[in-house]
Every structure is written in structure tokens, then in C-alpha cells.
Chains A and B, each alone.
Chain A
Amino acid sequence: NAGVMQNPRHLVRRRGQEARLRCSPMKGHSHVYWYRQLPEEGLKFMVYLQKENIIDESGMPKERFSAEFPKEGPSILRIQQVVRGDSAAYFCASLATGSYEQYFGPGTRLTVT
């Protein structure tokens, strides 16, 4: 049973470009969470999705950021018109229904130049 997969592992974008980060949850997990981690900081919750639904996006910036978890395929975190302040590690985690243990992916390190 493969763990949570994220790709790409490293992503470099110039200011103004778009970044697309992908997350495939563990098999059988229908809950996906996205977190952002700045250097030397803990993780900050961004958004919680179930298949085809955004459940909680209270941690996500109102502009330029969007997330989806379609019926088929991975969850996508999309950042439009990236700025230097978006440089961070982005982690997704998945959870089985009824469980409390989140399984984290290896993260995508986004660098905006």
C-alpha cells in the first residue's frame, strides 16, 4: 500500500507564473488536507477536502490559491501568479474516515525566483 504521494518534490517558478502541486492520498482515504510550512516554522493548515468537495478552506489565502479533489485523480493545489512569499514547503496529508491519524506526503518545495 503506497503512502501519500506528492509531485513534484521540487518546483521552481518565476514570479507571476502558476504552480500546480499534486497529491495522491493513500488508498482508501477520502480526506485530504493541505498544509504550508515556512522555514523553521510548524505547519499551517490551508484547506481540507473530500472527494469533489471543499470542506474547510479557512486557512487558504482568498486570492490566487485554489484547491480541488476531483472524483478521479489526485488533489491539486493551484497557486496563480506566484510571489516570493509563496516559497515554502507544501504538504498534503490524507485520513481514513473515522480515523484521527493523518498520513503525510513528502512535500513539494516551491521556490519562487
Chain B
Amino acid sequence: SQQGEEDPQALSIQEGENATMNCSYKTSINNLQWYRQNSGRGLVHLILIRSNEREKHSGRLRVTLDTSKKSSSLLITASRAADTASYFCATDPLGGGSQGNLIFGKGTKLSVKP
């Protein structure tokens, strides 16, 4: 089964609301990263959280990591229509054998309505 599974699969909110996306994974990790992908485009790196960190902030983004539950959440506060995109978590597995062999989930499609 897949490492890094996001839920919900799709999320629709109004502009100004907060959006929370969750990610679960199965094996121990070095770090977990969140990426954004606009339709038909490449991925943009949002934030990285290391296995020994519990929370990290970057602008309107807040990421938490619970290694005991093997889960992470991405919170986008005060969402904007421009935040509409797919969001992926990616894990860098511990002892993965090669640097940076990221394992991606299927993503959460976020739609922010003006």
C-alpha cells in the first residue's frame, strides 16, 4: 500500500476560510515535505519538516508532524482563490537507500471559491 496518503481527496472552501489537509505514512522518515501543483504544472515546494520537529510555519502555512501516529497536517489560513491547486505530501524514508527518493501520496485537490 502507499506511503503518504492524503485526506481528504478533495476539499472545497470559501475564500477566507482555513483549509486543513492530512497525510498519513507507514514507515519511519527523515523528513516530510509538502508540495503544491497547479493544474498542468510542475510541483512547487512549500515546506519541509524534519522528523525531530513537531510544527513549522511559513507565511500562511502551518505544518505539524506526529511521528508516533505517522501523520502530518497542512493548514492554510485565510485561503485565497489563488490557493486552488493539488497538495501533495512526500516522505523521505529513513534508510531509504538513496538521498531524496521521495514517496508521494495521491494528493488533495483544494478548491477555494471567491
Interface residues of A (CB under 8 A from B): 4, 31, 33, 35, 40-45, 48, 55-56, 58-59, 91, 93, 95, 100-107
Contacts and interface: CB of A to CB of B under 8 A. Distances in A.
B31 interface: yes
B41 interface: yes
B91 to A, nearest CB: 11
Contacts of A95: 99-100
Contacts, number: 64
B100 A40 contact: no
28 contacts: A31-B99, A31-B100, A33-B100, A42-B4, A42-B106, A42-B107, A43-B43, A43-B104, A45-B103, A48-B98, A48-B100, A48-B101, A56-B98, A58-B97, A59-B101, A91-B43, A93-B43, A95-B100, A100-B30, A100-B100, A101-B33, A102-B102, A103-B45, A104-B35, A104-B45, A106-B41, A107-B41, A107-B42
Contacts of B31: 100
Given A102-B102, A103-B45, 14 more contacts: A31-B99, A33-B102, A42-B105, A42-B106, A43-B88, A45-B101, A48-B98, A55-B98, A56-B97, A56-B101, A59-B101, A93-B43, A95-B99, A107-B41
Interface residues of B, number: 26
A93 B102 CA distance: 11
